Amino acid sequence: MNTPWWKQAVVYQIYPRSFMDSNGDGIGDLKGITSRLDYLKKLGVDVIWLSPVYQSPNDDNGYDISDYQAIMAEFGTMEDFDELLAKAHEKGLKIVMDLVVNHTSDEHRWFVESRKGDGNRYRDYYIWRDGKEGGGLPNNWGACFGGPAWEFDEERGQYYLHLFSKKQPDLNWDNPAVREDVFDMMTWWCEKGIDGFRMDVISMISKTEDMPDGEIRGLYGDYSPYCVHGPRVHEYLREMNQKVLSKYDLMTVGETAGVTTKEACVYAGNDTGELNMVFQFEHVDVHGPYGKWNEKRMLLTRLKKILSRWQTELSGKAWNSLYWDNHDQPRAVSRFGDDRGPFRVRSAKMLATCLHMMQGTPYIYQGEELGMTNYPFKGPRDFHDIESIHAYEEWCESGRVSHEEFWPCITAVSRDNARTPMQWDDTDQAGFTTGTPWMPVNPNYREINARAELADPDSVFYHYQKLIALRKQYPIIVEGTYRLLMADSEELFVYERILGEEKLLVACNFTDHDTVFHVPREFISGTCLITNYEDGFRDGKLRAYEAMVLRNM
């Protein structure tokens, strides 16, 4: 079988600011990452996805880029980057860059020129509009990080569109010069030898021309029908593929919020000439009265239905990513497992097993392999993330919801949960820095840290290591088809993978108690590939958060 490398790979996502600080300024950096490559090698991953390391004023921690071809000073220099890339390659690790080209920083040179207006080469690089007659905003859209999606620029005397913060103006992809500049920049990185791109909110680059008011949701109109999977997005991705991607051996993954399986078959279809795979969000999307701010858990039947639909509907047609965690999501073990009770380790291993045995390319977010948990926020001043800060202002300080009501919702899903420093050991600041970390370390670092887990053969770390090794050993994990069993159970997630005569049974208990489960006969005499109970599996029941993978041969 001729399977491309990125279908067999396991990716590890690094949020550089919080991974490893090499110089004691409290901020993670490139040299810090380089110093930890052996750790990643030991885990067994193949690819590192670096969240943005480019020059940025950090309104959104690097997702607001002011120079795509320079490294953020706090992270180091271009020489440090070249060293990281070379060392990674020496060890057989690939590096995938975050590509944030729906928007730039308002401090990017293109925007600085664009706001000067007439007679300027960059005039139409962004989306400028006059206000409505009588002085109103061009339309009623709200921005992702709160407030309206339009900001008036005094210098130019017009409004510009920003679907995220006002320091993240949206680029005008309809302008061919913008596309050429972006493609040239991408080519420059490819020539440096990087191994791929993770494309930030790439489904939002094409906007409808008329940009009408949206349906009011919360305080503002919803832009998504006019900006997500917009009219020319596939045309632009094909052009990007033709002009850049197809010339190199890359891995490409599009962050595509709101994507359906049908759309995914276009973005990441086997022969649609766009991207290799997508990130979809359905399985982490639980909306309540305050939008995404919600402490409710998704029903297991619903989670299974969503993940299973992604398994079957892309099968043979397109490729998907597998993830529980990233820098925008709370910690998986807190969201789906037992983070404070006695089953943290077991539930972290169960979640890993459930995900890693599916079809797709698995992503591990830094610290997930240790079973790191959500942060115990005490008050809104603990937030660093622009999204959480603005959400608290917009919902609570405005008086729309009480603190008591909103607090459990925002702390359950705040992106800051994922952004506390990596827990390397049980020394001060978890070994992340010798200085004061930019964000406090989770106080549970004395118990949960890499050094302790490396010394414990039953740790979450070694469970991940084993799952990764299994994927390399058994092609069925990459190639096999998928079939859900026990769809109606609110307790168990059970599925099969099938490749010719070979079958795997993956059985996971999502509860903290024993649950009846009879192993199908064909697996009884087979082999157990992995389990999270040291004494092996017992027929008749699955114990609390038990997970096992059986093979019929």
Q: Binding residues for ligand GLC, per CB under 6 A?
A: 60, 63, 100, 164, 200-201, 255, 327-328
Nearer to ligand GLC, 190 or 257 (CB): 257
Nearer to ligand GLC, 101 or 504 (CB): 101
Q: Which of 12, 14, 16, 21 binds Ca ion (CB under 5 A)?
A: 21
Q: Among ligand GLC, Ca ion, none, what binds residue 369 when CB lies within 5 to 8 Å by partner kind?
A: none
- Asked if 393 and 436 touch (Cβ cutoff 8 Å), the reply is no
SS3 306: helix
Which residue's C-beta sits nearest to Ca ion?
29
Helix (H), strand (E), coil (C) string for 174-208: CCHHHHHHHHHHHHHHHHHCCCEEEECCHHHCCCC
DSSP strand pairing (502-509 vs 277-279): unpaired
Closest CA to 538 of 512, 517, 523, 521: 517
Catalytic residue ranges: 200, 255
Which residue has its beta carbon closest to ligand GLC? 63
Residue 476 site contact among ligand GLC, Ca ion, none (CB < 5 to 8 Å, cut-off depends on kind) = none
Question: What's the closest the beta carbon of residue 102 comes to ligand GLC, in angstroms?
Answer: 7
**Interacting positions 24-83 with Ca ion (CB under 5 A):** 25, 27, 29
DSSP 8-state assignment for residue 434: S
Contact partner, 226, from ligand GLC, Ca ion, none, Cβ < 5-8 Å per class:
none
Phi/psi at 503 (5° precision): -140, 145
CA distances from 504 to 210, 449, 484 (A): 51, 32, 12
Nearer residue to ligand GLC within complex by CB, 60 or 325: 60
Alpha helices in 106-232 (DSSP H): 109-114, 176-192, 224-227
**Euclidean distance between CA atoms 308 and 478, whole angstroms:** 16
Residue number, 202 or 508, with CB nearest to ligand GLC:
202
| Encoded tokens for 488 | 């109606």
Identify which of residues 327 and 349 has a Cβ nearer to ligand GLC in the complex: 327
The residue (of 20 and 505) whose beta carbon lies closer to Ca ion is: 20
CB-CB contact of 152 with 100 (8 Å): no
DSSP letter (8 states) at residue 73: G
Distance in Å, CB of 164 to ligand GLC, minimum:
5
Which partner, ligand GLC, Ca ion, none, binds residue 178 by CB below 5 to 8 Å per kind?
Answer: none
**Cβ proximity to Ca ion, 24 vs 291, nearer residue:** 24
Q: How far is the CB of 385 from ligand GLC (least distance, A)?
A: 8
Q: Which residue's CB is nearer to ligand GLC, number 200 or number 282?
A: 200
Residue 328 contact, options Ca ion, ligand GLC, none, Cβ 5-8 Å cut-off depending on partner type:
ligand GLC
Q: How far is the CB of 438 from Ca ion (least distance, A)?
A: 9
Q: How far apart are CA 496 and CA 509, in angstroms?
A: 15
Distances (CA, A) of 267 to 242, 257, 276, 531: 14, 12, 8, 35
Residue 305: CB partners within 8 Å, gap ≥ 6?
Answer: 487
CB of 451 to Ca ion, least distance (A): 20
Which residue is it, tokens 């919702």? 409
Least distance CB 218 / Ca ion (angstroms): 38
Note whether 350 and 508 are within 8 A (CB): yes
Question: CB of residue 414 vs ligand GLC: minimum separation in angstroms?
Answer: 12
Q: Which does 164 bind (CB under 5 to 8 A by kind): Ca ion, ligand GLC, none?
A: ligand GLC
Distance, CA of 466 to CA of 472 (rounded, Å): 10
Residue 63 binding: pick among ligand GLC, Ca ion, none (C-beta 5-8 Å cut-off by kind): ligand GLC
Please state, in angstroms and as integers, the Cα–Cα distance from residue 109 to each residue in 112, 114, 177, 223, 452, following that order. Answer: 5, 8, 15, 27, 47
187 binding partner (options Ca ion, ligand GLC, none; Cβ < 5 to 8 Å by kind): none
Contact 231, 173 (CB under 8 A): no
**Other beta carbons less than 10 A from residue 262's beta carbon:** 11
Q: How far is the CB of 386 from ligand GLC (least distance, A)?
A: 8
CB atoms within 10 A of CB 524: 11
Please give the residue ranges that form the binding site for Ca ion (CB under 5 A): 21, 23, 25, 27, 29
